[in-house]
Each structure stands twice: as C-alpha cells, then as structure tokens.
Amino acid sequence: MINVIVCDDYNQLSNVAFEIMLSVIKNKADATLGLATGSSPIGLYQNMIADYDKKKTSYKMIKTFNLDEYVGIDVHHPESYYSFMHRNLFDHIDIEEKNIHIPSNMGDDLQKNCDDYNKLLAENVIDIQLLGIGSNGHIGFNEPYTAFDSLTHIVDLKQSTINDNARFFNNDTSLVPKKAITMGIANVMAARKILLLATGENKAEAIYQTIKGKIDESCPSTILQRHNDVTIVVDKLAASKL
Ligand code: GLP
C-alpha cells in the first residue's frame, strides 16, 4: 500500500521524513536503516543530526545499509557515496563505523563484493528503507528494465542518469562514473517499510508512474505498488501530475 504525503516545500518534507525515521529508531534502538544518497534526503539527515545534538538520540546500536556506490572513483573521492554519507550524516552522529555498510567498489572482484553484500542483507532485515527516485523511475541505481527479482549487482548507468548527476561533477558528464553497484529491486522490496522522497517538477512523471502507472520493469519504482508499507513524501511540484 502506498501512502502519499504532499508537502508545501522541502523544509516540510524533511520534517515529515524525519518524524517517520525517528519513530522507527525510537521503537527499536538497534534498528537497521537502509539509506540513500542524492539531494532529496539531505534535509532529513540534517534533522537527524540536529536531533542527535539536542536530544542525544543514539545510533550506537543502529546498523545502516546504503543502496549504492559508484564504480571507478576512489572511495575517498568527494562524490563517492561513502564520502557523501560520512559528510552528510555519519561523521555527525554516534554510529559505529563497523555498523555502516555501503557496497564496496574496491578490488578486482566486484561480483564477490555484490555477493558479500547480498549475504549481509539476507542476514539483516531492513526496518526502513529510504529511497530517492531518478527522473526515469530508477531506485538506487536500478535503471529501467532491471529485473524485479534482482539482487545487488553491477550496472551501466543510463545516459539520463549520468546527465542528472553531472551537477555533482562540475556539470561535466565525462567526469561522472559510468558504472555503479546497487542493491537490487528484490533487496529493496525486502525492507519492512519504505520511505521515498522526491521534489521538483523533474520528478513529477516518475512519481505519477510510481503511484498510478502499470507495474512494469520499464519503470522500476512501479514495483513499490506491491509493497505493503510505502510512504511517499513529495513537494507540490513532484505531486503535480497526480
Ligand atoms: C542517484 C542515486 C539514487 C537517487 C537519485 C535521485 O541516482 N543513485 O539513489 O535516488 O540519484 O537523486 P536526487 O535526490 O538528488 O534527485
């Protein structure tokens, strides 16, 4: 079931998302969080940091699993998702480094990295999976026509995604990695609860398809219609086609 919450602006969206995230953490001090990168969750992460500073909500027992990571840039590159997560959240809360999981892009055997990640995900059910969405309906880096039963795998990024993400690489598409490792759609669907955030007109069509479109691999996010606990929090622009 998909519950949709339309917010006036990004600030309100980030507050609503934070309340949902906090309720999971308050109910379960050792919750497993599925986390996402991109601009959509940054306000939520800022709220988590502010709450940690003021109210000392502890992340000592929390485990996290990130959706994806680029392949072909160093893990310490400022735009790697490892760096993004540390800069925007992990460095500012009391989470233990050993409890942080991000698909590894290191070494020669990336398939083994995928297999290891799947094994960990099989052992740890995600209590809440945070998602952004690509303008083409991708979730994580599961591009259109990814199999709905896919697990963590290596992907070639679509040109539209490379274009969308060029803003993080000096607006130079040649600097954007062409491959990534992503949790698969089946990994995402295994989460107990899903929280998807989207803003802006650029996402309106993808949000419309996610909620009202035919469930089809041509738009990965449509699979969410088959999950029993999805909340989509959007601003008015992203909701404009509903
Ligand atoms: C990237 C990430 C996705 C994210 C998407 C949307 O492609 N791999 O997980 O959902 O960007 O990003 P934004 O929130 O910046 O629009």
- Ligand 1 near 39 CB (within 6 A): yes
Q: By alpha-carbon position, which residue is closest to atom 3 of ligand 1?
A: 140
For residue 138, the CA-to-ligand 1 centroid distance in Å is 8
Average pLDDT, the chain: 97
Any atom of ligand 1 within 6 Å of the Cβ of 150: no
* Tokens at 156, concatenated: 């070639």
Tell whether the model's pLDDT for residue 54 goes beyond 90: yes
Residues annotated as catalytic (active site), given as ranges: 68, 136, 138, 143
Spacing, Cα 198 to ligand 1 middle (Å): 9
Rg (the chain; Cα; Å): 17
Residue among 45, 81, 138, 142 to mutate when testing ligand 1 (max atoms within 8 A of CB): 138
- What's the gap in Å between 66 CA and the centre of ligand 1? 12
Residue 150's contacts (CB-CB under 8 Å, 6 or more residues apart) are 142, 184, 185, 186
Q: Which residues of 76-92 are buried (b: 16+ CB within 10 A; e: fewer)?
A: ebebbbbbbbbebbbeb
| Tens-place pLDDT, residues 14-42 | 999 999 999 999 999 999 999 999 999 99
Closest CA to 144 of 133, 132, 131: 133
Q: How far apart are CA 152 and CA 93, in angstroms?
A: 27
148 by Cβ neighbours in 10 Å (0-12 / 13-18 / 19+) ranks as: middle
- Average pLDDT in the 157-172 region? 92
Q: Do 210 and 224 touch, CB atoms closer than 8 A? A: yes
Structure tokens at 81: 């998702």
Asked whether residue 207 carries a pLDDT value surpassing 90, the answer given is yes
Q: What is the length of the chain?
A: 242
